[in-house]
Amino acid sequence: MPELPEVETAARTLAPHVTGRTIVGVERLDWARMVETHSVPLFRQLIAGRRMVRAHRRAKWVLLTLDAGWILAIHLRMSGNLTVHGPDAVARPHVHLIMTLDNGQRIFFDDERKFGRVRLLDAAGFAALDAAHGPEPLDEQFTPHTLARILSGRRTKIKPLLLDQRRIAGMGNIYASEALWLAQLHPLLPAALIDATGSTALHAAIQAVLQQAIAYEGSSLRNYRTSSGGRGQNQEHFLAYDRAGTPCQRCGTAIERIVVAQRSTFFCPLCQQLSGPTAHGKEL
């Protein structure tokens, strides 16, 4: 599933193509369940003629701010991509939504597994979406103290807590594994046992891995592409994720894979011990 860096890249690369452009209409929408907030006929009617003011991101949602107070929120889910094409481009069978713009360009929402979702939100609808997510980990307001408050008193294991969108917005499986490796924290360590030193290290690690991934335009493991159709390059720089059996870049011990909260999790059994020094002095 595209995570914060991929969604941020999608929004950034989409922005130059759509900002100030008007949606002429919907050329294709052949998967009705994709639209969560209106019937397909009403959705078509409401976005036709709307000018796009801004492309940005909240959590794992690409947001297209439209005039008249609407926001088009798009969740890529497991296999979704937003790409921009000319008027003569031939859409693949998995392109389930095509929006035509006033300059002839078309936005394709390609979603092979049909898990992607679209919401057309008014101010109240967006407020509800916003409130359902925790702080943005790259915002200035997300400080080490903020993270320490999120972790405080929680017996939840740190890896699934990082995946909980109500706690921290946009984090996903790849970057949780990467951040925990960088902070030298075991993925099964209860959040409450991470002290100030550990939470400060984790805060720095979260921001570092996300910023790096954005710089490389995300990680393309399967379906993810930028709006121009290019692949992200961050998968070439993984520290732990998808590296089972390869030497840890810090100590040389083989990276291991376990399943945590039904997700593949990668860590170094020496650098990221469940108790002892890497638990920052707090024993289980």
Q: Give the chain's radius of gyration (CA, Å).
A: 20
Separation between Cα atoms, residue 83 and residue 228, nearest integer Å:
6
Apex 75 CA angle, 24 and 179, nearest 5: 140
Q: Are 116 and 80 in contact (CB under 8 A)?
A: yes
Apex CA 200: angle with CA 165 and CA 269, to 5°? Answer: 80
Active-site residue among 3, 8, 178, 217?
3
User: Which position among 58, 60, 106, 119 bears the catalytic label?
Assistant: 60
Rounded Cα distance between 274 and 22, Å, is: 54
The pLDDT assigned to 71 comes to: 98
Q: Is 263 a catalytic residue?
A: yes
pLDDT at 135: 98
Burial (CB count within 10 angstroms: exposed 0-12, middle 13-18, buried 19+), residue 170: buried
Rounded CA separation 74/61 (Å): 5
Q: Can you give the pTM of this predicted structure?
A: 0.93
CB 228 within 8 A of CB 13: yes
Residues of the chain with CATH 1.10.8.50: 144-279
**Among 54, 154, 263, 282, which one carries the catalytic annotation?**
263
> 33: which 2 tokens?
């369940």
Q: Is 136 one of the catalytic residues?
A: no
268: DSSP letter: -
Taking only the tens of pLDDT, the chain with its 284 residues reads: 789 999 999 999 999 999 999 999 999 999 999 999 999 999 999 999 999 999 999 999 999 999 999 999 999 998 899 999 999 999 999 999 999 999 999 999 999 999 999 999 999 999 999 999 999 999 999 999 999 999 999 999 999 999 999 999 999 999 999 999 999 999 999 999 999 999 999 999 999 999 999 999 999 877 788 877 888 899 999 999 999 999 999 999 999 999 998 999 999 999 999 974 444 434 44
Q: Listing from the earlier edge strand, what are the strands of the sheet with 95-101?
A: 23-29, 95-101, 106-111, 80-85
CA dist list (Å): 245 to 30, 222, 231, 239, 260 = 43, 21, 25, 12, 18
Distance CA 107, CA 241 (A): 32
Identify whether 106 is a catalytic site residue.
no
How would CATH label the architecture of 4-131? Alpha-Beta Barrel (3.20)
d(CA 157, CA 186) in angstroms, rounded, equals 9
- Report d(CA 160, CA 169) in Å as an integer: 13
Q: Where in the chain is the domain with CATH 3.20.190.10?
A: 4-131
CA atoms of 284 and 95, how far apart (whole Å): 49
CATH number of 144-279: 1.10.8.50
CB 122 within 8 A of CB 128: no
- Catalytic residue list contains 135: no
Q: Which amino acid is at 284?
A: L
Contacts of 50 (CB under 8 A, 6+ apart): 22, 23, 66, 67, 68, 70
Q: What DSSP letter does each residue of 53-107 carry, written as one string?
A: EEEEEETTEEEEEEGGG-EEEEE-TTTEEEEEE-TTPPPPTTEEEEEEETTS-EE
